[in-house]
Structure 1
């Protein structure tokens, strides 16, 4: 019997879904088998199949999988799936059936299985349309990070993760401006108008092609919410400046006017890279 802490147990989970202990054992077997005989296989994901060998669920697992990610995917799936706007955008998100952490602090997210193919270059316009819909998703409160609160996962920060959680947009703004002052830049950011006009929005920051699947009906399914946090809209503009090849392909296809705060964020990102210190300019209240 494993000691597990549950984050999500969905009412609509499949009746044949194994319990947490069985899922942990299956994932351990999968990992050990592929480590020795098939090192190119997916080391942090596996499908669950029914008696006929047909996949009905997907398990994402590993030491970097958090329940904050699971909560975010669950919230976004409920916000997107089945809505008229999502149908128009031809986008959906896999439903989360179960999520938990084991006694080794490995996370497990068991979700709906998606049958389809990783999106190609020719699918980029459809993916851009799907992403445009995702950034219209707002949280129910002003909590930054993943749904329910977390550090910020975003390429602004070294290792793509902030060193602290931010209780307010004001303190996040204070930190960015502290970074800029540390380098003597005569630039500052002001998220107040952005937050007032748009509230926080979902910011998908990892837009590589592996995170988008096209189903046979041409619906784009968005995967991986590890770097999808609720942030001021300008953080999405910064994410679009990423060097991933698929992100570069999506950039001109996503219709939006870049935020006036983008220049400040670009300078702050450069300062953090140079110093290698995510605590640079951190307000005393966050120490």
Structure 2
């Protein structure tokens, strides 16, 4: 996007009338499988922004984390982040129980959209292996971003963890430390009568910015060959074992294509059997 277009989009976001947006939403059809849509391009005829919306308790922590990742990525040397981008958030609006993230509109296609075009979708991404390498690099970039000294397990600024190992991808409570999380997981194994069947969980003592949801709608390629990470709903500061878990989550095409691994970035394996059992005791995600 040209610099003047960014300027226009930023100003448009600041001048945005929330009531007009809400009226627009009321006129929209449901999304796939009859589900309510969670985002849309606006204005409809000539989009300048993408608006994501939902429960404020989910959207506001996501916006904080998204902004943090955007800011930290700008500080990574350009040669290391070449072709990897995060959309800029122009504005976050809270209204009653809902919140709206108004962000940069990216003209491109999600991995899911590319896959839907062809039965040969595995290689339909222009560039083939190059784009799989870019996905691998994007995930590693997030994992390598600096973590605030006072960060707790969860989104930037605090909150419930969003991650596929929890029911409805939401932790049952706030964890004040890695120790507290580890103790809760091990106690869950005891309560689920699994503690004598699987190893005790021993989480890593460092946090990383973990993209827990590797769904192929969360990554977008542009015609220029750039990759955008466009969703941070389940991106939280977590021990690396939870990245390993996310890479093994069923039905996630990206994780499957990367074969559950990251190049030159070993992910811990020791807790996986036990974490899978904890997730089963928690209930379906």
Q: What's 1:282 paired with? A: none
1:55 aligns with 2:47: yes
Q: What's 2:108 paired with? A: 116
Cα separation, 2, equivalents of 1:202 and 1:175: 21
CA offset digits 1:184-224 (Å, max 9, x no partner): 42321122xx22xxx21011111111111112221210011
The DSSP-based 3-state class of the residue aligned with 1:35 is coil
Q: What's 1:209 paired with? A: 216
Cα separation, 2, equivalents of 1:84 and 1:249: 27
Q: What's 1:262 paired with? A: 272
Q: CA deviation at 1:89?
A: 5.2
| Residue number among 232, 240, 261 corresponding to 2:239 in the alignment | 232
1:145 aligns with 2:154: yes
RMSD: 2.9
Q: CA deviation at 1:87?
A: 4.5
Cα separation, 1, equivalents of 2:229 and 2:9: 20
The DSSP-based 3-state class of the residue aligned with 2:172 is coil
Q: Is the 8 A contact 2:53 2:59 kept in 1?
A: no
Q: CA deviation at 1:27?
A: 2.5
Cα separation, 2, equivalents of 1:85 and 1:263: 38
The alpha-carbon distance between structure 1 residues 138 and 244, as it changes in their structure 2 partners (threshold 3 A), is farther
1:126 aligns with 2:119: no
The alpha-carbon distance between structure 1 residues 144 and 28, as it changes in their structure 2 partners (threshold 3 A), is same
Structure 2 unaligned segments of length 5 or more: list them.
Answer: 1-6, 115-121, 123-127
Q: What are the within-5 Å matches in structure 2 for residues 10-25 of structure 1? A: 14-19=10-15, 22=17, 24-25=18-19
The alpha-carbon distance between structure 1 residues 15 and 102, as it changes in their structure 2 partners (threshold 3 A), is same
Q: What's 1:161 paired with? A: 170
| Residue number among 17, 22, 35 corresponding to 2:29 in the alignment | 35
Cα separation, 1, equivalents of 2:66 and 2:24: 24
TM-score by length of 2: 0.79
Aligned residue pairs total 255
Q: What's 2:99 paired with? A: 107
Q: What's 1:135 paired with? A: 143
Q: CA deviation at 1:244?
A: 2.1
TM-score by length of 1: 0.79
Q: Is the 8 A contact 2:107 2:222 kept in 1?
A: yes
Q: Is the 8 A contact 1:71 1:146 kept in 2?
A: yes
1:222 aligns with 2:229: yes
